[in-house]
Amino acid sequence: MTPLLLLFGYPAPIAIGTDLLYAALTKASGALVHHRSGNVNWHVVGLLALGSVPTSILLHGLVLDISVRDSAKFEELLTSSLGAMLILTATMLIFREKLRFNAVNDRPERLMGLLHKHRSGVTCLMGVILGICVTLSSVGAGAFCAAILLIIYSKIPVIQIIAIDIAHAVPLTFIAGLGYLIAGYVDLVLLCSLLIGSLPAIHLGSKVSNAVPDKLLQQLLITVLLGLGIYYSVA
């Protein structure tokens, strides 16, 4: 959403702040559905949030303070962060199956042994990284987070990984978006327009996606993410 808003001419802070609150509102319903289905491991969600939410708050209070927001480097920082995260997310999508296969088969054994032994600490650290990435770019609480969780929790069914990812994204994107809202970087009219437009679009997209092979959809997504990532990295 953020790179698309940038293409429509919205400033980076507005695009990111609005997208974060949009994500929080739209993902909340998905998290509720997964919770009712018993797919959400709230212990893992809590570990992620323990790292991500305080990190986002600290970023807004210390790094993205008034002096930084008023500088010419602010939009450049956000745009560069967005480009880097888009490229990283696309890369994770490319190698996701291989990484998952290696994790399930405990390869390499020493690394997987360390991950399993210190799983709680690694999960919390992952939350810290996500807090930085999502707050600066609005990207990360999705395919990137899910890919990492697939490695750390290789024995958990994929549907539960997706549920954890969505449930954790709600508080993280809300807190990060709230920071932008307080700073005046959320376009409420745009936010309402996106919410209204997404309702029929989700219905249409679900029907179209059923008729398109998964591999083709993934290749298209990777191409778009890489292209936009490179563009905003060098812009």
d(CA 126, CA 99): 16
The yes-or-no verdict on residue 181 having pLDDT over 90 is: yes
pTM of the model: 0.85
The yes-or-no verdict on residue 69 having pLDDT over 90 is: no
Under 8 Å between Cβ of 116 and 151:
no
- Go through 102-119 and write b for each residue having 16 or more CB atoms within 10 A of its CB, e for each that does not: bbeeeeeeeebeebeeee
pLDDT, position 235: 66
Instruction: For residue 41, name the pLDDT band (cuts at 50, 70, 90).
Output: very high
The yes-or-no verdict on residue 205 having pLDDT over 80 is: no
Residue ranges of the domains in the chain?
11-234
pLDDT, position 174: 96
